[in-house]
Structure 1
Amino acid sequence: MGIHWDRLDKRLRAQVEANTAQYERVRPSLATVTSQLQSGIRDIFRSAELTPLFVTARTKSVESFRDKASRMLQPAEPGGAPALEFPDPLREIHDLVGVRVIVSLPHEIREAAALIKRQRSDFDCRADREKDIGSIESGTYGYASRHLIMRTLQNNTVKAYQQALGEPARATGSYLFEVQIRTILSHAWSELEHDIRFKSSDPRAWSPYFDRQFTATAAMLEAVESAFAELHERYETVTGYWDEEGEGAAPLTPRRVREVWQTLLPHVDRKSDDDWGWAAELLAAHGLKTTTELAALLNPETITDVRAALEHRYSPGPDRLLDDLLLWRFGRSHIELTAGDDEHRRESLQRRFRQLETYRLGM
């Protein structure tokens, strides 16, 4: 029936069985509470920018309730009388009703928790903890999950459940329940872990190798989630470059040119120094002054054409590639605007311009 139930002291079994029978009687009413709370949490996100992948809920099973209600405390003194961790489990166990909010990326866990905690007219947050913090501080691995203990306020569905529960419960409409917020990858990992590690029918069949494997997969999970988080952050940054009312309007200072270049073309960052002034001057010569204009210039298809046309013997660094891209786009005007009295540069630009034009004719 469960690890704790199997180990329960015989003197406490009658008490646990009585509590379990009462829970089995009122569980249908509690399931109605669960459904209502699931809908209430889901409704929080209907008008929010954040949309969870899904919101699920469950009412603890009778078997799971019996096992958790069977947990014992260690005696204060050797040989002391055993005691239950939850002597009044229907009121002391706070995850009889559990709601799960599943999101895509780690930063959305924080956003979802903040949204739920702001619903002060319906809920009151009584506890808030991050499951992964302990593993980080101890140097171990586990899945990331935010656990909120919420309390309903004047909830009529809860009142009906409390009336079914009977004395000494009072029908106040206040009820504690748990909300877990985690990413889809952490959710999948935790479900598999729970099925294998915590639902093992025979604990004697457990092997330390399983723990080692779970640790390894948790480490891989953390690496994958970090990669997805970085991809999302880069995506948000890049799309911002095209917002002409926001980030796209940012002026092309040398530092800004460097930031945009290193974001869009991190694989072409081989400058021997950190001076991006010349790049900013080349852009300014053509009146290119905003981030959006630079992003448009660094078009991947154009870069591919320029590379093919000039057949670089060595992969060009940012200064040279930018020079070639401007030559491709502006042609002879780029030569006149940027060569000046430098005959060596003028000859180089003219030679490259002829190569670009020959390539264009063959396209």
Structure 2
Amino acid sequence: MRDSAVLHDFDSWLAEHPTVVTDIQKVLSDELSDAGIAFDQVSVRIKDRGSYLTKIQDPRYPDYRDFDTAYDVLGVRVTVHTTSDVILLVGVMRSLFDVVSVTDKSAQTAGRGEFGYASSHVIARVTSSTLPSLAELEGRLIEIQVRTVLQHAWAEFEHDVRYKNPGHELSPEVHRAFTLAAGLIELADQQFDSIARATSTDGDATDDTELTATMLPGVLTMLVGNEYPMSKADYYRFAVDMLAANGVTTIGELSVLCAPEALAQLQETMGYGYPPGQVRLIDDLLLFTYGRDHIRRTVHIGDHASSRPGRLGNRWQKMGQRPRN
């Protein structure tokens, strides 16, 4: 196939979707934020035109034949703080996209007895049934990389060094330094996981203790368990505000809201595709308990207050527009 023909579909599609990068970045950021999932950043890029052409012509990629089979023209990267969050985010991607494959690069590297590149790569298709805001991308393949902030720093620096030295084999000293850094990063990520687990409980609190944003993650972990992951740190002040707006200001009152039967009813009603983050869980429990009053009392709360009425309205409809018994 001639180069011009190979590039025609690439150029035409991008010309028809001039805002695709910002569209995907906004939708995914909003989805993760709405779910109460902790993440560092969502970034989106379009594959370089020359790299696309080179890969199509590379016999090592026999399934990468044309624009429709080019799975990485659209690339998404989500960075998180812990390796536990990587596992969680891959699960979230399964619920948002039609996943074709998942490759754990970390496991592949470890399986070779090495330290090095670590990331989870998800190849998926956009589906309007779960992401209606991206309906115009229906069926489009997309590559999503999920990695920790430290893994991302290593990968970016390693790529930068190799990019600046094309065609030159790096010295054994440089290879050794990269390997050592990768090993230290793996150890650091393990310690961050340990810290997250160790700080997710608060054994000194009592039922009449006033709720604060600082203590809320640990208290919720005690009340609902580890099934619901911690949210972004700054979301917890929104959660405290939402709780207070509905008269829930102490641990005892929160424990009533989070009663096992309430959680079970909410899970059955919502049919979550993945465990919601703690703050999203609180928001849904309040909506499930207080109904329209919760919408009225908290519609102004949060970083995305302008879209909150619509999001709450959609959830309220899913709940059948009536609070739980």
In the superposition, the TM-score normalised over structure 2's length comes to 0.57
Matched, 1:126 2:100: yes
Aligned pair in 2 of structure 1 residues 40, 207: CA closer, same or farther (>3 Å)? Answer: same
Aligned pair in 2 of structure 1 residues 108, 69: CA closer, same or farther (>3 Å)? Answer: same
**Partner of residue 54 from structure 2, selected from 50, 58, 67:** 67
For the 8 Å contact 1:60–1:97, the answer to whether it is kept is yes
3-state SS of 1:118 partner: helix
Paired residues, number: 209
The superposition leaves residues 11-68 of structure 1 with CA deviations (integer Å, 9 ceiling, x where unpaired) of xxx6345313542343333553333222222122122232211111001111221222
Matching of residues 130-149 of structure 1 within 5 Å: 130-149=104-123
Report the Cα distance in structure 1 between the residues aligned to 2:189 and 2:202, rounded to whole angstroms: 22
Matched, 1:181 2:146: yes
**Partner of residue 192 from structure 2, selected from 228, 242, 261:** 228
Deviation of 1:125 after TM superposition, in Å, equals 1.6
Matching of residues 134-213 of structure 1 within 5 Å: 134-154=108-128, 173-197=138-162, 199-204=163-168, 206-213=170-177
State which drifts further: 129-138 or 149-158: 149-158
For the 8 Å contact 1:125–1:151, the answer to whether it is kept is yes
Aligned pair in 2 of structure 1 residues 43, 247: CA closer, same or farther (>3 Å)? Answer: closer
**Partner of residue 218 from structure 1, selected from 167, 182, 189:** 182
Matching of residues 166-315 of structure 1 within 5 Å: 173-197=138-162, 199-204=163-168, 206-236=170-200, 239-244=201-206
Deviation of 1:205 after TM superposition, in Å, equals 5.0
Greater C-alpha radius of gyration: 1
Gaps of 5+ in 1: 1-13, 74-83, 162-172, 251-363
Matching of residues 328-339 of structure 1 within 5 Å: none
Percent identical residues: 25
Matched, 1:111 2:100: no
3-state SS of 2:168 partner: helix
Aligned pair in 2 of structure 1 residues 57, 99: CA closer, same or farther (>3 Å)? Answer: same
3-state SS of 2:115 partner: coil
Aligned pair in 2 of structure 1 residues 95, 204: CA closer, same or farther (>3 Å)? Answer: same
3-state SS of 2:100 partner: strand
Deviation of 1:215 after TM superposition, in Å, equals 1.1
3-state SS of 2:68 partner: helix
* Structure with more helix by fraction: 1
Partner amino acid, structure 2, of 1:188: A
Report which structure shows greater RCO (CA 8 Å, sep ≥6).
Answer: 2
Gaps of 5+ in 2: 208-217, 223-325
What is the Cα-based RMSD across aligned positions, in Å? 2.9
Partner amino acid, structure 2, of 1:105: T
Report the Cα distance in structure 2 between the residues aligned to 1:151 and 1:47, rounded to whole angstroms: 21
Report the Cα distance in structure 2 between the residues aligned to 1:207 and 1:184, rounded to whole angstroms: 27
Residue of structure 2 equivalent to 1:47:
34
